[in-house]
Amino acid sequence: SAVISQKPSRDICQRGTSLTIQCQVDSQVTMMFWYRQQPGQSLTLIATANQGSEATYESGFVIDKFPISRPNLTFSTLTVSNMSPEDSSIYLCSVERRGPGADTQYFGPGTRLTVL
């Protein structure tokens, strides 16, 4: 398993501002993922963050809007830039564990963001 923490757990922000979400893992992992879950919807992958390289963004997500840092194998940040009410979501980071014949992902507790 993996223990993952996120900061902040929740925040209320004003339109036009930016928020940086931190994700800390208790062990070294190669791949970290950032997800967004908008109200009433399923999880959507924003980007994959590998240490030492640029994050890979999914369709519909761009680096200018969601810059990601991955300075080492246990830490990552996601910034939500120039926020609008449509960015109100729960943001989750996750890590993957590869096992013999089976893989799984472990999620952080999430950051609940409300943009006014």
Partner 1 sequence: SQQGEEDPQALSIQEGENATMNCSYKTSINNLQWYRQNSGRGLVHLILIRSNEREKHSGRLRVTLDTSKKSSSLLITASRAADTASYFCAHMDSNYQLIWGAGTKLIIKP
Q: Find the shortest distance in angstroms from Cβ 26 to partner 1.
A: 15
Site residues for partner 1, 26-55, by CB under 8 A, read: 31, 33, 41-45, 48
Burial 63-79 (b: 16+ CB within 10 A, else e): eebbbbebeebbebbbe
Q: How far is the CB of 36 from partner 1 (least distance, A)?
A: 11
Q: Binding of partner 1 at residue 108 (CB under 8 A)?
A: yes
Q: Nearest-CA neighbor of 5 among 27, 28, 21, 23?
A: 23
59 binds partner 1 (CB under 8 A): yes
Site residues for partner 1, window 73-102 (CB under 8 A)? 92, 94, 96, 98, 101-102
